[in-house]
Amino acid sequence: MQPTTVRLSELVAQFGGELLGSDVAVSRVAPLDHAHADAIAFLANPKYRAQLQATAAGAVIVPESARDDTALPRIVAKDPYLYFARVSTLLNPARTQPPGVHPSATVAASARLGADVSIGPNAVVGERAEIGDWVQVYPGAVIGDGVRLGAGTRIYPNATIYHGCEIGERCTIHSGAVIGADGFGLAWAGQDWFKIPQIGRVVIGNDVEVGANTTIDRGAMADTIIEDGAKLDNQIQIAHNCVIGKHTAIAGCVGIAGSTKIGAYCTVGGAAMFVGHIEVCDKVHIAGGALVSKSITKPGAYAGNYPLAERDDWLKNAAHIRHLDALAKRVKQLERLLNDKKE
């Protein structure tokens, strides 16, 4: 693939911002400390201003506060990080497979394929599946019976979409993801567990990204729902009947137990855990490693992880925590004694 080259004036015409200095051409993006003359870099965090002075980049993207901090050709942008992301998308278009069905792929006769669909080597498309226009199914991916894929969606190698699930338009499902496996539904029968049929689906909206090896379980009776624009990192577990609101972003290794509802425009840090059957309202931000054990009804930032400490100090503090209940009772007794003396 030939590199794309673009002039700064073209970027400003497309994305806005103010051009200062020469109208140079760039062909790639790079960090400040690794950039060369053919690259455009960006400054979003003031602590990297020293790198701005030393960079060998051909051009930079800077905030208004740093417009005079360099003599390099530069674009002054309100949000340099977002501007860089748009430039990077322009210079690095997604790789595509050619349209058509590879000879080694298996496509059911009852499946319906839209225009310019690409089905890669050893991929499988099941009975009555509906594949929208421009969909890319990469090698080894499995599209189950009755699955619907919206236009422009990409299913990367070895991802599996179980029967009956629906994925909207322009979604990205990365390698190893499993969409629609059985939820963990079991009833105790006295001597052993009795498996409950999981007859719901997973329904994913438009513009959703699902990271590598992330699993989203199908609903027990109703559906598991991922709304438009949600972004899911790698190795996330979303259990049956969960709802993830629109434009919510969830980092890697998060575990969400069944029937949990997370609202729109939320963020969840890595390795956070959610108990089941709770609701989190819109615009909540959960810190990494937090345990969300109850519903959250007020927008804001929440954390629930124990601060890191040296081992010996942590053990001492843990020993004190075990006795907090007894200590609280002693404090109440002392308060009563003091109040009795005052009277």
Which residues are designated catalytic?
240
CA within 13 Å, CB half, 88: 13
Grouping H, G, I as helix, E, B as strand and the rest as coil, residue 99 is: coil
273: left (phi over 0), alpha (psi -120 to 50) or beta: beta
Residue appearing with tokens 């959703």: 208
Residue (of 111, 175, 172, 105) closest to 136 by Cα position = 172
Residue appearing with tokens 């901090």: 69
Q: What whole-number distance in Å separates Cα of residue 177 and Cα of residue 175?
A: 6
Q: What whole-number distance in Å separates Cα of residue 148 and Cα of residue 165?
A: 7
Residue (of 124, 158, 133, 131) closest to 147 by Cα position = 131
Burial class (CB in 10 A: 0-12, 13-18, 19+), 322: exposed
What contacts 331, CB < 8 A, 6 or more positions away?
A: none
